[in-house]
Amino acid sequence: QVDVAAMVHLFGYVDVTDTGFLVAVLSIAFNPFFWNVVARWEHKTRALSQTFGSARAACYCLGAVILLLNCVRSHCFTEAMKSQPKLEDWDSHWTYYSGLAISAVGTLFVISSFLALGFTGTFLGDYFGILMEEKVTSFPFSILDNPMYWGSTAIYLGWSLMHASPAGLLLTAVVAISYTIAVLYEGPFTEEIYRRKQEGVKSK
């Protein structure tokens, strides 16, 4: 069970009206919203592929924009943590190294996911018609679904612990919620894309 008193005490350190905190929340929420809207628009209209001359070039450009937005999100996240107080009880070597270990695991999931999927597989290539031959089941997909998202969440969690930051923990929860919502939208849509692919193969 969640210790409500501990949660109230923890988040009593967080000023949710702080401009930096609000900017961080907006940047976290905006990213998955942006790439889902743009990718679905591309899937429906092929406008980006036509503009950039090919589906692959368009996917690489969208991927570059997503990477840039992720850098902005991380910067906003860090600045929001720095502008708010630390939890003194957590400002210790044990918490720091625990956070470092969690971030390392998250980084492993992110990098291994990218290596397993490739650039276009990572950055919504299936919405551009760049489909993989089969579902990836190797590590880290053999351990959990959506390891890129949960690895990224773990990095933010570890980063928050390393800074003993209640604001960081709350922002990490926002990251987890935004990814959960993204998965609810992306999962069925991606499955439908591949279902249509299989129907096309069978009809030949």
Sequential DSSP letters for 157-198: HHHHHHTT-HHHHHHHHHHHHHHHHHHHHHHHHHHHHHHHHH
pTM beyond 0.75: the answer is yes
For 70-88, write each residue's pLDDT tens digit.
Answer: 999 999 999 999 999 998 8
As a whole number, the mean pLDDT across the chain is 90
What's the structural domain count of the chain?
1
Query: How many H-runs (helices) and E-runs (strands) does the chain carry?
Result: 7, 0
Angle at 177 between CA 31 and CA 96, to 5 degrees: 90
Residue 2 has pLDDT above 50, yes or no: no
Roughly what angle, to the nearest 10 degrees, separates helices 4-11 and 166-203? Answer: 100
If pLDDT is split at 50, 70 and 90, which confidence band does 3 have? low
Task: Tell me the residue range of the domain where 30 lies.
Answer: 4-203
Q: What is the DSSP letter of 127?
A: G
Residue 194 has pLDDT above 70, yes or no: yes
| Spatial separation of the C-alpha atoms in residues 86 and 14, rounded to whole Å | 9
If pLDDT is split at 50, 70 and 90, which confidence band does 1 have? very low
Evaluated on CA atoms 100, 103, 105, 111, the torsion sign reads: negative
Residue 168 has pLDDT above 60, yes or no: yes
Phi, psi of 66 (to 5 degrees): -65, -40
Residues in the chain: 204
* Maximal C-alpha separation, the chain: 66
Residue 112 has pLDDT above 60, yes or no: yes
